[in-house]
Amino acid sequence: MIAMTRGVPAPESFPIDEIIPAFEKAMREDGRKALGYVASPGYMPLIELIAEREGVSPDHILIGNSSLEFIQFITMTEAEPGERVFAESPSYDRVNLLFRRRGLNAVGIPLEIDGVDMNCFEDELKKGAPKFFYTVDDFQNPMGVTVSLEKRKRIVELAGKYNFMILEDVPYRELRYSGEDLPTMYSMDPEHVVKMSSFSKTLAPGMRLGYLNGPADFIARVKTWAGNSYIGPVSPTQALLYQFIKMGYYEPNLVKLKDLYRPRMEKAIEILEKELPGAVFPRPEGGFFIGVTLPEGNDMAELIPAAKEAGVLITDGRGFYLNPDDGKRFLRVPFCGLTPEELEAAFALLLPLIKK
């Protein structure tokens, strides 16, 4: 069975030989602090290091057990049930679920090749500003698209005009395999944007180490909620990450990851272009995913069991849409967790089942 399901990093990419000495150094140098209660916002040496990398003061940074959980906290501190929030459509399925769990009125804005459809976005704004807009603007999950500079500017402008927050989730940003970085929305208006990221894709997801960079008052609210929920995030892993970066392991690991993932992305694009000319999909320049809209006549309800029967697990595309029916032809191809050979093998099993 080949699992073309979750967006998981390649297990062979985990830098175990660097993680072990980083942990030992963390424990030898500061074990008594790192093993004790480390209350929210987190382990101060790491907070300061992230703040320095982000170019902000430490009171703008909050560390937690995954950035997903931060989104959950934010649904509690920043919005009441019934209030409007905006998301891209499709969007990260787990975030859609947290919006539903909180009873938010989540509005999905259709995603185009260069970001959300701005006409729809502005029409929805006129109906009522959201509490926040959730966007993965670099190599989006599940589509793989990157928001254009023009749209970034316009969205930020609208956030100022209509006074809503942008949750800019950038876990894939550092994994660019071609092309040039665009400025973050955060860099354009740090008063209306909370940038969030994690080390799940750039180091190891089991660390569950996410962070926020946002306005101090916003951070203070989420910090209090987080602290009341669990006192503080798990700290030995924070001390490990601090040493991992200080020892100079982080940047070379990024290079290694990009060299590992680039050919996987290229292989996936190559197969799709050759074998599924009738499908619609972006050509990502980084990240983990290519979102494929299959030709008319395909239906996830049939494809998932047939694929499983053939030996491939695929994710139900409907989960990425606030209106599930919109995703019945949507196939997310997560290319990072599979080698080029495994991608070929998976598609060899899957393609005969797809109506072209």
Binding stretches for its own copies (CB under 8 A): 6, 8-9, 11-12, 14, 16, 19-20, 23-24, 27-28, 31-38, 65-66, 68-69, 72, 94, 97-98, 101, 204-209, 228-237, 240
Least distance to its own copies from the beta carbon of 262, Å? 21
Nearest-approach distance from CB 318 to its own copies, in angstroms: 17
Q: Which residues contact 307 (CB under 8 A, 6 or more apart)?
A: 313, 314, 349, 350, 353
Q: Considering just the CA atoms, what is the radius of gyration of the chain in Å?
A: 20
**Least distance in angstroms from the C-beta of 244 to its own copies:** 12
Residue 83 Cβ vs its own copies, minimum distance, rounded to whole Å = 17
The residue to which tokens 């979102």 are assigned: 291
Q: For residue 283, what is the DSSP state?
A: -
- Residue 165 sits at φ, ψ, to 5 deg, of -90, 150
Q: How far is the CB of 231 from its own copies (least distance, A)?
A: 6
Nearest to its own copies of 37, 325 (CB atom): 37
Q: Given the complex with its own copies, which of 75 and 298 has the nearer CB atom?
A: 75
Q: Which lies closer to its own copies via its Cβ, residue 19 or residue 272?
A: 19
CB 169 within 8 Å of CB 67? yes
Of 261, 237, 270, 196, nearest to 9 (Cα)?
261
DSSP state letter for 226: H
Nearer to its own copies, 214 or 232 (CB): 232
How many residues appear in the chain?
Answer: 356
**Which is nearer to its own copies, 184 or 202 (by Cβ)?**
202
Residue pointed to by tokens 């354009």 = 188
Query: What DSSP designation does 21 have?
Result: H
